[in-house]
Structure 1
C-alpha cells in the first residue's frame, strides 16, 4: 500500500532534483530518500497511453506499481501498490533517456 501523501512527496522530489540528473541517478536518489519504496524511473512514452497516472506535474507522471503477484504490473489501486513508476515527461529526461 502506498500511504497518503507519498505520491505528492515523490513528485515534489522529482521537481526539486536537477533536470540534468540521469534517470538511474534519480532512481537511486528517490530510493534513498523514500526508504523501502520500490521506485522505477522511465520515460512517460514507455507507459501504455490507456493508463491514467496517479499523480502528475510538469516533470513527471507517477503510476502505481503492484509487485504482489508473480509478475510486476501497473495498477490504479493505491491499496495494492508496493511502489511507483516515475515516468519522466519529454525534456525532463536525463541523458540516458530516449
Structure 2
C-alpha cells in the first residue's frame, strides 16, 4: 500500500464511510471493523480520525492475517471505532 493510498483510506474513514462502502471503493484491500477496545494496546495505529483508529493488516504469509506497520506488505485495514464517550 502506498502512502497516498493510505491517505485516501484515512480520508474515507474520516468521512464516516462504513466498511461496506470502503470495500466497494477499495476492492483490492481487506477491511474489517471493531471497537478500539478489541485491539491490543501493544499495537500502534498508523492513522487516526476523531471517530476511529486505523491499523494495517497483511495476509502475505498466506496463513493468517496479522497486524503490520509496514506499508510494503499491508493489504488490509482495521477500522477500530473509538468509544463514543471519549470523542
TM-score scaled to structure 1, two decimals?
0.76
5+ residue gaps in structure 1?
19-25, 93-98
Deviation at 1:7, TM superposition (A): 2.0
**d(CA) in 2 for partners of 1:33, 1:57:** 18
Map of 1:11 onto structure 2: 10
Number of residue-to-residue matches in the alignment: 84
1:55 to 13, 35, 47: 47
**d(CA) in 2 for partners of 1:59, 1:81:** 22
Deviations 1:24-80 (A, max 9, x none): xx1111000112111111111111011111111211111110111111110111111
TM-score scaled to structure 2, two decimals?
0.85
Structure 1: 4+ residue segments shifted above 2 A = none
